Structure 1
Amino acid sequence: MAADGTGGRTKTKPHAVVIPYPLQGHVIPAAHLALRLAARGFTVTFVNTESVHQQTARALGVDRRGCDIFAGARGSEDVRYELVSDGFPLGFDRSLNHDQFMEGVLHVLPAHVEELLRRVVLDPASTCLVADTFFVWPATLARALGVPYVSFWTEPALIFALYYHKDLLTKHGHFNSKEPRKDTITYIPGVPAIEPHELMSYLQETDTISVVHRIIFKAFEEARGADYVLCNTVEELEPSTIAALRAEKPFYAVGPIFPAGFARSAVATSMWAESDCSHWLDAQPPGSVLYISFGSYAHVTKQELHEIAGGVLASGARFLWVMRPDIVSSDDPDPLPEGFGAASAGRGLVVPWCCQVEVLSHAALGGFLTHCGWNSVLESVWAGVPMLCFPLLTDQFTNRRLVVREWRIGVPIGDRGAVFADEVRVSIEGVMSGKEGEELREAVKKVRATLEAATAHGGSSQRSFNEFVDELTHRCGRC
């Protein structure tokens, strides 16, 4: 601690160690949370896995050894960048070997994280650990190091509540049962009535000994030991759920967490090289383009992809389709139906990856066919673009419930294994050119206004973040 010139002592600068889950959809909000904390006077150490870092560097076309993803974002902020091994060689295909990779996240990664934390946590009294809720070690390591644990939840509060109370779902026979009940779930604190098919995919499954289930079970044991929970949502969108969670522990709704100005991020977080779609979009009429993307992680089957492609073609809509190289499998880099490109020539563009916030913000956009990842939902709302929802796994089924049933800003498209070209065509036509689309656009404007109000001066998310920062600054910035 340094003298302040008046015989007193200045406060120690608080230090936040921020560790995102090693998937792009988790890294993006964590990186922008790190910048927010740094802008409020924290020293931030941001920890990426070497694998995510390498893929990001490759997307940028730079050498991974000289790559610092925050290089373009730093002003006066104090953000340090560290890497940790996930236990696998860099050449290991994590997408193709998902379960093996998850076993490593469960059993191997924690030891590498502990080694790094013991190196970077120099003053436990001024340090806090901000770690993704899905990790299986944060509360345990935080206690061992003598630092507070901030559980960073990158999904809606609704989903946190359902996982947090999975014991109630088990007790009532809606989860972890050979034949789960199919009646409406009405007993989760703060959660309005929800149907079993609206639960996250992992809570709909009868096999609960998979590696992902073991991760979820352990992660939420750890979450119960969190000192604070920080959630990328907005209080006005989930008021009863957030109120119930606040009765459990300090819970701060601080979303939506976006790059500054809802523009291309100054932090390098994309794991694929981004195509520039702006010239093509500029040439399309306003509101005429359907944007299609299934996110950075989930996979579809070739059959599902062919049905959706058939519906897109039959609809006649202009489209921009992000076809991630491993969307079906990294062994199948060209999964679209034969002749699709020729059949859609002149009205469609297929790219491997793009800057999603730039695309959604473009005046040519009229709809978003999405997997309903939470980042995509928030971004689509902010851009005022209605959604066609085709969830693939995990939280996406529950996110669809929010989009379609509660906020009425999107429509469902089939289900896994049961999506058909004709249904896809009808839904696209309704959203892009029908009365239904007009109603959805009016509804999404209202939800966007809620997000804007929450993030404005004095809004709920800004107040919540200020309270969180004040609490941590008091706790970690000793006199």
Structure 2
Amino acid sequence: MAESLQKPHAIMIPYPLQGHVIPFVHLAMKLASKGFTITFINTESIHHQISTAQPQNNPIRDDIFAGARKSGLDIRYATVSDGLPLGFDRSLNHDQFMECILHVFSAHVDELVGKIVRSDDPPLTLLVADTFYVWPSTIANKYNLVNVSFWTEPTLVLTLYYHLYLLRKHGHFACHDKRDDTIDYIPGVRSIEPTDLMSYLQATDVSTVVHRIIYKAFKDVKKADFIICNTVHELESETISALHQKQSTYAIGPVFPNGFTKSTVATSLWSESDSTQWLDTKPHGSVLYVSFGSYAHTSKHDIVEIAHGLLLSRVNFVWVLRPDIVSSDDTDFLPVGFENQIKDQGLIMTWCCQIDVISHPAIGGFLTHCGWNSILESIWCTLPLICFPLLTDQFTNRKLVVDDWKIGINLCDRKVVRRDEVSIKINRLMHEKTSEDLRNEIRKLRKTLENALAADGSSEKNLTQLIKDVKAKIQKRQGHATWQRDNPLANHA
């Protein structure tokens, strides 16, 4: 019994999107290095995509943590059905996919957790689930697990969802005559414009499947024992402190792989191309990296205008273009002859290891969709940003980057993307005085991240405190369970 108390066993379940899987994997490695046993669960679909993206003879095709275990980490790996067949196109049929995550997925998780509880050693004591899931408190209560909610985006986004009832009450969300004045009543948020809210909170139709997930998930998170955030306390101190007063919240980010090098664990959903040889031929800081992430879509018009803008700018670029960036059934979206026109100015890839590319000395800036992983990685590599938010938290992340931290600029000041403006903004980021101002600010933020991850830094201290608090909570739970078992009449008293 004493041994099981000393070695917590956590089951970790990321949301089935690459941007969520990546920080979950790195957190699993971090907790395992601190003495935890981890059982990491991917959906069968995510596992299939990751394994298919690997070379045929790679042992991690079956178990992505095979390499991590060789280094002595106690990480087991399993998969679970999300309720849909492997061949189902989740990108093209987004709403059906989300309906399954909302209604069907929890039954499969319940069955798997039950099996692990009955068979595993050390005993399962802890659930670390993505905050966007609607079921963690139910599963945690059923199996007497400590419930840790892992939030993979900025705390600003979390606290806006957390206080959805205030936005509704004040008429900034889900109202017929929605207010468009500044929002200044959310605890820990000085002020925010309605146009900087997440896309789902700006929507007119608030009855979609994603909205129903949001309503349930952010009701459920309030039942968690602990919330952990992939952010740094110093970057969002007021927001984190205000939330911590309501519920135990720990900033433990940025959750990166050791040494900010390519992870030993595969997380990519597509085969990665290597751009090193091409980048080696380019001057230091001369290349713009362009990527719109693993999930969000944009229009053919926007891709065409950005393509022409890149050409007009004459700046060297590496552009990561997923085949489904417009949609799964429209893969012909570049201007006619574009790949011949770019000659040696640009390199287009379907996918890459982003950490490898942006840490190359030739990269000098990043045109991004404002995904949170991309922002944290850019700060670490001191790359200023051109922001082109497409979906969900990206609009709020843009506010942090451009308005609050001054480490980036907007791609377009109007609603419509235009090639001439794209060209101007690229040159502003890469060459003009604006560029140096942005770089000065981002160097300061890089230092903040470094300090947070140091042995006496805020993130490292918060992680240590979290582990101590989790172990105390496990002991309390196990002690209570033992008492109940020894006193069967107590429940009927």
TM-score normalised by the shorter chain: which range applies? over 0.9
TM-score (norm: length of structure 2): 0.93
How far apart in 2 are the matches of 1:351 and 1:415? 28
Q: How do 1:28-177 residues align onto structure 2 when only pairs under 5 Å count?
A: 28-62=22-56, 67-74=62-69, 75-122=71-118, 127-177=125-175
Residue identity in the other structure for 1:377? I
Partner of 2:237: 239
Secondary structure in structure 1 of the residue aligned to 2:204: coil
**1:10–1:72 distance in 2 versus 1, CA, 3 Å:** closer
Structure 2 gaps of 5+ residues are 480-493
Partner of 1:313: 311
Confirm whether residue 357 of structure 1 aligns to residue 351 of structure 2.
no
Structure 1 gaps of 5+ residues are 3-8
Secondary structure in structure 2 of the residue aligned to 1:290: strand
Q: How do 1:389-468 residues align onto structure 2 when only pairs under 5 Å count?
A: 389-414=387-412, 418-468=416-466
Query: Share of identical aligned residues, percent?
Result: 57
Residue identity in the other structure for 2:368? T
The count of residues paired between Structure 1 and Structure 2 equals 473
How far apart in 2 are the matches of 1:355 and 1:179? 45
Partner of 2:7: 13
**1:66–1:384 distance in 2 versus 1, CA, 3 Å:** closer
TM superposition shift of 1:61: 3.0
How far apart in 1 are the matches of 2:293 and 2:362? 21
Contact 1:392 1:416 in 2 (8 A): no
Match of 1:23 among 9, 14, 17: 17
**1:177–1:472 distance in 2 versus 1, CA, 3 Å:** same
Secondary structure in structure 1 of the residue aligned to 2:150: strand
TM superposition shift of 1:147: 1.2
Residue identity in the other structure for 2:26? H
Residue identity in the other structure for 2:437? E
Contact 1:13 1:126 in 2 (8 A): no
Contact 1:125 1:147 in 2 (8 A): no
Residue identity in the other structure for 2:92? L
Q: How do 1:201-350 residues align onto structure 2 when only pairs under 5 Å count?
A: 201-350=199-348
Confirm whether residue 180 of structure 1 aligns to residue 178 of structure 2.
yes
**1:386–1:143 distance in 2 versus 1, CA, 3 Å:** same
RMSD over aligned Cα atoms = 1.7
Residues 296-315 of structure 1: per-residue CA shift (max 9 Å, x gap): 00001001111111111111
Contact 1:304 1:417 in 2 (8 A): no
Residue identity in the other structure for 2:102? L
How far apart in 1 are the matches of 2:292 and 2:155? 22
Residues 372-396 of structure 1: per-residue CA shift (max 9 Å, x gap): 0000000000000000000000000
TM superposition shift of 1:126: 5.4
TM superposition shift of 1:181: 0.6
How far apart in 2 are the matches of 1:66 and 1:21? 20
Match of 2:365 among 358, 364, 367: 367
How far apart in 2 are the matches of 1:424 and 1:440? 18
Contact 1:291 1:365 in 2 (8 A): yes
How far apart in 1 are the matches of 2:60 and 2:155? 38
Residues 183-217 of structure 1: per-residue CA shift (max 9 Å, x gap): 00000000121000000000001210000000011
Contact 1:68 1:81 in 2 (8 A): yes
Secondary structure in structure 1 of the residue aligned to 2:53: helix
TM superposition shift of 1:328: 0.7
TM superposition shift of 1:405: 0.5
**1:358–1:179 distance in 2 versus 1, CA, 3 Å:** same
TM superposition shift of 1:476: 2.8
Contact 1:201 1:397 in 2 (8 A): yes
Contact 1:409 1:440 in 2 (8 A): yes
Residue identity in the other structure for 2:33? A
TM superposition shift of 1:346: 1.0
How far apart in 2 are the matches of 1:121 and 1:217? 29
**1:434–1:146 distance in 2 versus 1, CA, 3 Å:** same
How far apart in 2 are the matches of 1:334 and 1:132? 35
Structure 1, 411-420 or 347-356: larger mean CA deviation: 411-420
Residue identity in the other structure for 1:201? S
Structure 1, 59-68 or 227-236: larger mean CA deviation: 59-68
TM superposition shift of 1:11: 4.0
**1:65–1:190 distance in 2 versus 1, CA, 3 Å:** closer
TM superposition shift of 1:319: 0.3
TM superposition shift of 1:403: 0.2
Residues 286-341 of structure 1: per-residue CA shift (max 9 Å, x gap): 01000000000000100111111111111110000001111111112231111111
